[in-house]
Amino acid sequence: IILGLEPTLAILLALTLVVSIVTFALERTNILLGAVHVLLFLAYLMLIFAN
């Protein structure tokens, strides 16, 4: 499967998948995992507007 992503966006996608798996594997979430999700989202927005 070819997604047609730049390498930076592919890394961001992989990080998002890993963080999501960790979040859903735990019984309870905490503020740190929420902050990681927000930071990944902000990095994604930054990369969208940088291109």
In tens digits, what is the pLDDT along the chain, a chain of 51 residues? Answer: 677 888 888 899 999 999 999 999 998 989 999 999 999 999 999 988 986
Cα separation, 29 vs 45, in Å, equals 24
Report pLDDT for 20: 93
**Which pLDDT does position 51 carry in this prediction?**
66
Looking at residue 5, its pLDDT comes to: 81
Q: Would you state the pLDDT for residue 6?
A: 84
